[in-house]
Structure 1
Amino acid sequence: MLSTYIDLALGLILLFLLLSLLVSGLNEAVVRMLSIRSKFLWAYLRDTLDGSDAQGKSWLPSKIREVFGSLPFLRDPRPAHDSRPAPSESSEMPAQEDKAQDAMTVLLYERVREIDHPKRGRTSIADLPPERFSVAMMEMAAREPGGVEGLLEKLKAMNSPLYGHLKGVWETAQRDLDRFRQGVEGWFDSEMQRLSMLYRRYVRWVVAALALLVTLLFTMDGLEYTKTLLRDNGFRASVTAVASAPGAYDELKARCAQADPVPCITETLSQPALLTMLDQGIVRIALPAEGDPSITWNGGAWWDRLTTPSHWPGFLLTYVALLFGAPFWWDLFRRLTGIRSRR
């Protein structure tokens, strides 16, 4: 009896692990295709260095709908890619009080573009090391006549939000250049941690949407899968009992409804319950013993299954399980099976 429950637990964990990996793969594909990480970084940099755009709207998304709309598709905050190495000296900062369009963002990219490679004409930088950012600030300060003081005056004249941050770091460092560089590095590192937390919060909504999509496309009923696992275990026990209990053969023959139940038994034992459940999706993938795999449309049966209220609690169970994520289910699977981590 204990082995039956262990098989049930392993089967459920394996199902949720595989589907969670599918959700994670889809999420990573969407993130890479739309360059979401890079856009998040440069949206933050534009807000921090140059402030909001002319319409007074922040580049960084503030609402969930902006994650699914404006940031990935409509507003691209990334600078245009430049394959040239960073120049020996920084370009001149605008002297007028009315700041040039994204002047600080362009100047920063000019100092860090050596670590860039093109992606559809835009920068692909998605991770800016704090050390590189602090060095870029020092290079900009070295270009100004008054050093850091001159840079701060230019930032104040441009009404850049970066002025307040650097001014505080400069005063805390007591006007020591080395301590100022370290302070800028520490400040930017903490800002990147905050940005990462914001990014993960938005990604949770994307994962939730993808988990719902996977659950509905595969119509994966977690409760039905549990019953299928238990039924398969009972069926296998009946097959095992044939050798010692001749009466069990009649039960198997009645279940298979054939003159010779051996082919039916062989087919049932060779097809795990997981493959049986995956056949309920919007498309059906057949893996015959002989011949090539085939993919067939299963829209009619899928829609009937999707609109059957008795399956909805199972769909909800699967959806909630996928929200835990693949790392959770892998850790649970590893603990239950005794697989040790390399660490």
Structure 2
Amino acid sequence: MYECAVLSVYVDLALGLVVAFLLLSLLVSGLNEAFVRVLAIRSKFLWAYLRDTMDGADKKSGSWLPASAAGVFGVLPFLRDPRPAHSGDPAPAKAGEMPAARTSQSMMNLLYERVREIDHAKRGKTSIADIPPARFAMAIMELAAAGDRDMRAFLDGLRKIDSPLYGHLNGVWESAQGDLDRFRQGVESWFDGEMQRLSLLYKRYVKWVVAALGIVVTLLFSMDGLEYAKTLLRDNAYRASVTAVAGPEAYDQLQAKCQGGDPVPCVTEVLSEPALVKLMGQAVVSVSIPAEGDPSVHANFAAWWERIMTPSHWPGFLLTYVALLFGAPFWWDVFRRITGIKAKR
């Protein structure tokens, strides 16, 4: 019996910590996703790659594709927009002619003409963040067929305008040995591999942003993981004592715990306020929901700042921050394993 009670305490502790880390991880993921969507980061990342691949780096500013997380979430969203202007027109029946030199017309814009049926406007720019490999391969075939030229002439044109795309397509064409169907499949496979590589690169940059957001969320909520665990154990012990007591002596014990006051309101308040709610009340701004009346918002800047500057809380902040780095999927999986919830197949 005693062992079951001890096991129940540890299960409650583990479940409480997992739920707290899961909720905060979801908040971090939500903030990151909101940032990405509002600033169209994924779309800009894709078109920066296409500009570098099809037209080459800008002579003045260098490569369009950022080389660091600061570039992805600093330069790319606010200073350089590589996306073409949105057009609601369908793709023209005949593909545009290849530019004779580096002009305002570019290979990337010609590609956009062939794929803009899947587009919708976002503040005057394209919102396309993913081009299916099969659609990209067909767009290349359509561009190659423009002007009644053959594939060799198209590749020679890419070489004349010094397009980096020439090296990739020329290799695929040589491997296809002049077979257009094999060439199309080869372009599709090559572009699919490039998109996978680009996705891995993007995820690597996103990890740095999630790490930064984890610090912000941890400090704004002043979430001390060690203190939270201690609060969970204390509440569990208190609930156990309330459940076990009976008779006048137990009433006197509860009265002593409630500092001489009426134990009924004291017990009610403790049992109705989870440890997570108590800890979230330490945030820089907290919301209280009274038993009667409307919810109210409180600014706790003075208490929050004192808590942040107290060294005894720093190990707990570090624990919470490290936990958030594991991400919401990890904590959801842990929660599912503890509760026995089975994943849908």
Could you tell me the TM-score, scaled by structure 1's length?
A: 0.97
What residue number does 1:277 align with? 279
Matched residue count: 340
What residue number does 1:57 align with? 62
Q: 2:63 & 2:105 partners in 1: Cα distance? A: 13
Q: 1:161 & 1:259 partners in 2: Cα distance? A: 80
Q: 1:233 & 1:45 partners in 2: Cα distance? A: 57
What residue number does 1:295 align with? 297
Q: Check the 8 A contact 2:133/2:192 in 1, yes or no.
A: yes
What residue number does 2:254 align with? 252
Unaligned runs of 5+ in 2: 1-5
Q: 1:272 & 1:322 partners in 2: Cα distance? A: 21
Identity %: 68
Q: Report whether the alignment pairs 1:133 with 2:121.
A: no
Specify which of 178, 183, 186 is matched with residue 183 of structure 1.
186
What residue number does 1:121 align with? 124
The one-letter code sitting in structure 2 at the alignment partner of 1:62 is A
Q: 1:226 & 1:246 partners in 2: Cα distance? A: 32
What residue number does 2:28 align with? 23
Unaligned runs of 5+ in 1: none
Specify which of 161, 164, 167 is matched with residue 164 of structure 2.
161
Secondary structure (helix, strand or coil) at the match of 2:254 reads helix
Q: Check the 8 A contact 2:41/2:73 in 1, yes or no.
A: no
Q: 1:327 & 1:234 partners in 2: Cα distance? A: 31
Cα deviations by residue, 1:276-310 (Å, 9 ceiling, x for unpaired):
00000001100111111111111111111111110
Q: Give the alignment of 1:136-215 within 5 angstroms.
A: 136-215=139-218
The one-letter code sitting in structure 2 at the alignment partner of 1:220 is M
Secondary structure (helix, strand or coil) at the match of 2:64 reads coil
The one-letter code sitting in structure 2 at the alignment partner of 1:338 is G
Q: Check the 8 A contact 1:221/1:312 in 2, yes or no.
A: yes
Q: Check the 8 A contact 2:99/2:107 in 1, yes or no.
A: no
Q: 2:175 & 2:42 partners in 1: Cα distance? A: 32
Secondary structure (helix, strand or coil) at the match of 1:284 reads strand
Structure 1 position 24, deviation (Å)? 0.7
Q: Check the 8 A contact 2:84/2:125 in 1, yes or no.
A: yes
Structure 1 position 333, deviation (Å)? 0.4
Specify which of 23, 32, 37 is matched with residue 37 of structure 2.
32
Q: Check the 8 A contact 1:238/1:248 in 2, yes or no.
A: no
Q: Report whether the alignment pairs 1:77 with 2:79.
A: no
Q: 2:176 & 2:103 partners in 1: Cα distance? A: 29
Could you tell me the TM-score, scaled by structure 2's length?
A: 0.96
The one-letter code sitting in structure 1 at the alignment partner of 2:69 is I
RMSD after superposition: 1.1
Q: 1:283 & 1:249 partners in 2: Cα distance? A: 37
Q: 1:242 & 1:73 partners in 2: Cα distance? A: 63
What residue number does 2:321 align with? 319
